[in-house]
Structure 1
Amino acid sequence: MLDWIDLPDPSVQDFEDPFRDLSPEQFDDVLFVVRLRGRSRQQAGTDEERQKWQELLSETEDALLAGGTNIDWLLNRRELVAERRRKAGVMGTPQFDGQTITLTGFVAPAPNDPDGQPVAYLVPERGMCSHVPPPPPSQMIRVRLKKDWTPNYVHQPIRLTGKITIDATEQAIVVMDGLEP
């Protein structure tokens, strides 16, 4: 039997993510620097406000640097880290593609396929997609259900055995706030 931790592709899980190493205070300071730099570029506020913002910006940048955080280097890594995080969340383990697996999880409802075939998502924890944010795509399995079976209730625990296809797709799912890609 497979476990959920086995599904994400391990080859894209391990990467340098300097944002992960920041303390909550450092992360807040990085966000503060980004906001203050944005205000500075927009030339918003009065001369007095801009002077105060510049002082706060210098103080915050100096404090980050004193703590070992090079803010410019960190901000230059944003897009690379975002892309690696996206890959880590989306990529499934290729060795399972086409294999018959067994996995236990919870059924989350999904709109039927255009051909009327009932569909659901198998997710690792009860409440995912409706009461908490959906898991990363590598932790969601889109299941085409038999026409004569539907879950008895939302988030019914089940054990599924079937052939898995590792193929990223984009479908709308129902989450607490409405449809989400």
Structure 2
Amino acid sequence: MIGARLLVSLCVAALLAATQASAEAKAIAFADLVDPQATVFEDPFKDMGHELLNELKLLLELDEKLSQNSLTEDERSRLKERRKAAKDLLEINGKDVDALLAQRWDVARKRQNALIATNPVWDGAEVELSGYLIPAPQGADGNFYGYLVPQVGMCSHHTSPPPNQLVRVRLPDDPKSQSLYAPARVSGRLQVEASDATIFVLDGEARMISSWTLNAITVDRGEDVAGNGVVGASETTVSAGN
């Protein structure tokens, strides 16, 4: 009886493993990687506009200066007058200055969390993600790595994406000969795995802070690569095999 149960258990485990291995990767976009719950919060600074944000920043700077004891009476009077003008402008535009100042650290924390929080739906999932692959040095574990970004030129000519939209890719082969400007479609198992490394990109160093690791099974390149607005030419395929 025990032997029969063991055999059944092994068969079920083998069937589940085969099912998972043959599961078709789900095509996703970089925006899907972000935890949607982390982006939903009240942000009173979002639509203030450049001018009013500058006035609020100036008001904070003036408060810092006014806290100094070394100011002359004329300097203190001038700074108070400018502070009043900044506060008046904000209030005329319907802004509660005290409420804004009280919320600024909480909003800053929520904004930061929105940049790193990952979507739990895709942790451990088989996915297909298209973007541009930046080659990275071989890891200490002997694996080859790269970083998948949503737009060409990111991390070199343009700002790096936030950590929850920068995907470290564990590659089946050495990517050093691959172009930064060729679009790539990577499929494999995605997992939440934070990493922080500095690599050399084109003519300078770039810090790569990622919340994700994608264990690549295939890497496709070229004009057939579609998704997230990615378009390129000359497709080749690298496969890890079965």
TM-score normalised by structure 2 residue count: 0.68
1:117, 1:145 within 8 Å by CA — same for their partners in 2? yes
Q: RMSD across aligned C-alpha pairs, in angstroms?
A: 2.0
Gaps of 5+ in 1: none
The separation in 1 between residues aligned to 2:198 and 2:107, in whole angstroms, is: 26
1:32 is matched with which residue? Answer: 58
Q: Partner of 1:50 in structure 2?
A: 76
Is the 2:144–2:174 Cα contact (8 Å) retained in structure 1? no
| Partner of residue 167 from structure 1, selected from 177, 186, 193 | 193
Pairing 1:103-142 to 2, within 5 Å after superposition: 103-142=129-168
What is the CA–CA distance in structure 1 between the aligned matches of 2:177 and 2:133, rounded to whole Å?
7
On the 8 A contact 1:130/1:174 being kept in 2, the answer is no
More strand by share: 2
Which secondary structure state, in structure 2, belongs to the residue aligned with residue 133 of structure 1? coil
SS at match of 2:152: coil
Secondary structure of residue in 2 paired with 1:39 = helix
Task: Please state how far the C-alpha of 1:77 moved relative to its aligned partner.
Answer: 1.0
The question of whether the paired residues in 1 share the 8 Å contact of 2:146 and 2:175 is answered with no
Q: Cα offset for 1:151?
A: 4.7
Question: What is the CA-CA distance between 1:45 and the residue it aligns to?
Answer: 4.4
Tell me, yes or no, if the aligned pair for 2:132 and 2:148 is still in contact at 8 Å: yes
Higher relative contact order (CA 8 A, sep 6+): 1
Structure 1 residue 90 corresponds to structure 2 residue 116: yes
Q: Is the partner of 1:42 in helix, strand or coil?
A: coil
- Is the 8 Å Cα contact of residues 155 and 206 (structure 2) preserved in structure 1? no
Farther off after superposition, 66-75 or 11-20: 66-75
2: distance between equivalents of 1:148 and 1:23? 46
TM-score w.r.t. structure 1 length? 0.90
- Residue in structure 1 matching 2:170, options 144, 151, 161: 144
Give the structure 2 partner of residue 23 of structure 1. 49
1:67 is aligned to 2:117: no
Letter in 1 for 2:154: M
Number of aligned residue pairs: give it: 181
Q: Could you give the per-residue CA deviations for residues 73-130 of structure 1, whole angstroms, max 9, x where no partner exists?
A: 1121111111111111111110111111001000123343222422111010011111
Aligned residues of 1:3 and 1:103 also touching (Cα < 8 A): yes
Gaps of 5+ in 2: 1-26, 210-242
**Residue 178 of structure 1 aligns with which residue?**
205
Q: 2-side partners of 1:71 and 1:155: how far apart?
A: 46
CA distance in 1, matches of 2:205, 2:72: 41
Q: Contact 1:121–1:140 at 8 Å: present in 2 too?
A: yes
4+ aligned runs moved over 4 Å, structure 1: 173-177
Partner Cα distance (2:101, 2:199) in 1? 33
Percent of paired sites with the same residue: 34
Give the CA deviation at 1:38: 1.0
Distance in 2 of aligned mates of 1:178 and 1:150? 16
Is 1:3 the counterpart of 2:10? The answer is no
Give the letter aligned to residue 96 of structure 1: W
Query: 2:178 is matched by which residue type in structure 1?
Result: N
